[in-house]
Amino acid sequence: MEVKKCQVLVVGAGPGGYVAAIRAGQLGLNTIIVEGSRAGGTCLIRGCIPSKALIGVAQQFQKLAKYATDAGHQGITIPGPAEIDMSSMIDWKEGIVDRLNKGVETLLGKAGVELVHGWAEFQDAKTVKVGEGSDAVLIEAENVILANGSIPIELPFMPYDENVISSKEALELRELPEHLVVVGGGYIGLELGITYRMLGSKVTVIEAMDSVLPIFDKELRRPLELSLKKQKITVKTGVFAKGVEKTGDKISVKYVDKKHADDESKIESIEADKILVTVGRKPRSQGLENTGVKLDERGFVMVDNQCRTNMKGVYAIGDLTDLGEMLAHVASFQGEMVAEIISGKNRIYDPVAVPAIVFTEPEVVSVGMSPDEAKDAGHPVITGKFPLGANGRALTQEAEKTAGFVRIVAREDDHRVLGVQGVGTHIAELVGEWTLALEMGAVLEDIAGTIHAHPTMTEMTHEAALASLGHAIHIA
């Protein structure tokens, strides 16, 4: 068996792993990265990027439908309705994925990182075997970065098959389902549900909580909830999915109001073509038994603020850890940080705020504290809001039609910005300034005193700060 030795071994080439490997390579560390599938991980191959590609197509398709009416739209008319070819759309999406996958592999190579394809089988905490028989390779490392990522949670009473699918399969459908039932009203379910509605499917969402996107406050959710109604997406909240019933070629989702969860006579059903289960994700921690790393009761690897596990020289990053934020940008940040720690730099994971984005239509964005969270934390709070309908750039892009807004949360006494939220079309592109403001400890006057280019949607951040101070210019 061939034996390879390295200073850094990264397991998993997702957004955390490949960033860690590239940075380690840049720092002159002899680095090997092992990936069982394709470089890029869930985000690039079967998650963030492909879903945003389909969302973009769906938005274009919906706009073209307006142009095909007798009156047209925006002065544009087209002779007939657009048609969607699902297979061609998926091929186009795969082209983007392939391009980015090759880009990641190229970047790894340029950083001097060796990419080994295959699944890592741990012999001990710092030794893995990849492959079988004469092709097997044994890799021995001084330091290990676990970047195994996460997988969709499968409901035991609704196992995945050709009709009950996860987000991965939902991004590969080459035929448009007539009726898509989404089990789970979180960000993944709503993003994909809205996408398929815009493409022409009937969509029903089943959610056990009393609202969709329950992690966001009511004011922030409201424009999205109105949009779901406008798009004729049926939303059933406060209900539990109970299983799948198959009758010939037909499938149905069984569900019950949670008030009557134990009463079988109250169970109802909805017929569907596809059932998309999006009830969360869990860490891909199976196979770590021989490493000796400590897991919590949910299967997450326990780490400190430098992403160190209980095993010396073994780190874990991203979705695999118990830090609580299963986001690609968090994994990338931690990957870069750990590579620098191994090289001797002094860094810790202690962000002031981590941005969360839901790419629905309208988009929902939050960074830092909401008004209620700030009050619960004991802060004296003032807020300022500015609507998309009063912003010229938003009007030219028809972004105001979702009744969205930008909201700033700050301390009343010293005006320190505690959080910024927004909801609306294209609103996600503003989050960089918001996150930077929190990280830099900005006060309202810092934002109010910064010239924001006109006409741009960033002016809404400026106006929301002014509104917090009591003197917004473009709203009465």
Catalytic residues: 454
Integer Cα distance of 390 and 431 in angstroms:
19
The DSSP-derived string for 124-135 is ETTEEEESSGGG
> Which of 146, 129, 120 is closest to 309 using CA atoms?
146
Three-class DSSP category at 9? strand
- Judge whether 428 and 359 are in contact, CB under 8 Å: yes
Residue 333's Cβ-side half-sphere holds a number of Cα atoms within 13 Å equal to: 18
**Residues paired with residue 145 on neighbouring β-strands, in sequence order:** 10, 315
Integer Cα distance of 460 and 466 in angstroms:
10
> Which of 206, 185, 201, 208 is closest to 360 using CA atoms?
185
In the block, tokens 């505690």 appear at 418
Token duo for residue 13: 């080439």
Please state at what angle helix 328-342 crosses helix 17-26, rounded to 10 degrees: 30
Element (H, E) at 139: strand 137-146
Token duo for residue 371: 């008004």
In the block, tokens 């919590």 appear at 296
> Which of 427, 435, 275 is closest to 358 using CA atoms?
427
Integer Cα distance of 328 and 217 in angstroms:
23
- Judge whether 49 and 14 are in contact, CB under 8 Å: no
- Judge whether 279 and 296 are in contact, CB under 8 Å: no
The DSSP-derived string for 34-77 is EESS-TTHHHHHHSHHHHHHHHHHHHHHHHHHHHTSSS-BTTB-
- Judge whether 384 and 475 are in contact, CB under 8 Å: no
Using CB atoms within 10 A of its CB, is residue 249 exposed (0-12), middle (13-18) or buried (19+)?
exposed
